[in-house]
Amino acid sequence: MAVSSYMTDAIKIDVWSDIACPWCYIGKRNLETGLAEVAGDADAPRVEVTYHSYELSPDTPVDFEGDQTEYLVQHKGISREQALEMAARVTDVARDAGLDYHFDNLKHTNTVKAHELVHFAKEKGLQGSMKERLLSAHFVEGRHVGRIDDLVELAVEIGLDADEAREALISEKYVEAVRADEEQARAYGINGVPFFVIDGKYGISGAQPPAAFSQIARQVWAEHQGEPAAV
């Protein structure tokens, strides 16, 4: 009976990422594409994905004065030419993943409140939807994702209660959860995102292609079945 119970366990994928990380949205979409591929397998893996907080630039003000290029120059210490090249490159990679980035409209901001909102949404069973809405709002639509009023609007769009969302953000109820995620990231030695932890034992760093995620999903699912993974 114990073996049968174990075989039905879902693969746990824990994802550390930041709302302000363009590679994190690409990584999220590639993960979803890879998992969609294995969903058609005769013995499709069961997967549970959980998102965790990671702030790349916690010192960024809520209302950053400047555009994407100025942000990269200030925070990366690179030239304007290099910043423009970086933005163009990530826009091309995002397009390949099916994402339409608009860095010219992007509003840089502090992301701690957005992370708090993701934790609030998790409690309501809508974490994945909230994460997706925030990333799309930030990179595709050029909406502000650092101010409470703007965040509440996005929460309502996915079906969360406005008053409850506002209270959660004002009270800072979920700040401790954000800090716990970041502490776990440090314990794992994560110093860049996106970072994917599979079943607590395999780590995947960066926005890997969909095939990398489908491969690891099949491998780990075979381990759950007590079978050797196909090569």
* Cβ–Cβ < 8 Å for 154, 169: no
Residue 215 is part of a domain; what is its CATH number?
Answer: 3.40.30.10
**Mean pLDDT, residues 180-192 taken together:** 97
Does residue 218 lie in a domain region?
yes
Q: Is residue 132 part of a domain?
A: yes
Q: How far apart are the first and last CA of the chain?
A: 29
Question: Two tokens at 39?
Answer: 């969903």
Residue 32 has pLDDT above 90, yes or no: yes
> Residue 106 above 80 pLDDT?
yes
Question: In terms of pTM, does the model score above 0.85?
Answer: yes
Please tell me the predicted confidence (pLDDT) of residue 2: 31
The answer as to whether 102 is a domain residue is no
Q: What is the mean pLDDT of residues 48-59?
A: 97
For all residues of the chain together, what is the average pLDDT? 93
Whether 1 has a pLDDT exceeding 70, the answer reads no
Classify the C-alpha dihedral 188-213-124-60 as positive or negative.
positive
Query: How far apart are the C-alpha atoms of 178 and 29, rounded to whole Å?
Result: 23
Q: At what angle do helices 162-171 and 112-123 cross, to 10 degrees?
A: 130
* Domain of residue 197, residue span: 2-25+38-64+107-224
127 is a domain residue: yes
Long-range CB contacts for residues 58-64, cutoff 8 Å, separation at least 24: 58/110, 58/112, 60/20, 60/108, 60/109, 60/110, 60/111, 61/109, 61/110, 62/109, 62/110, 62/146, 62/147, 63/109, 63/146, 63/147, 64/107, 64/108, 64/109
Segment 89-118 shows an average pLDDT of 97
pLDDT, tens digit (0-9, with 9 covering 90-100), for 192-223 = 999 999 999 999 999 999 999 999 999 999 99
pLDDT for the residue numbered 207: 97
Arithmetic mean of pLDDT, 99-115: 97
Tally of domains in the chain: 1
User: Is residue 75 in a domain?
Assistant: no
Q: Does 47 fall in a domain?
A: yes
Indicate whether 89 belongs to any domain: no
Residue 75 confidence (pLDDT):
81
Place of tokens 């209270």: 167
- Does residue 83 lie in a domain region? no
pLDDT reported for residue 229: 47
Structure tokens, 200? 């607590």
Mean pLDDT value of segment 116-121: 98
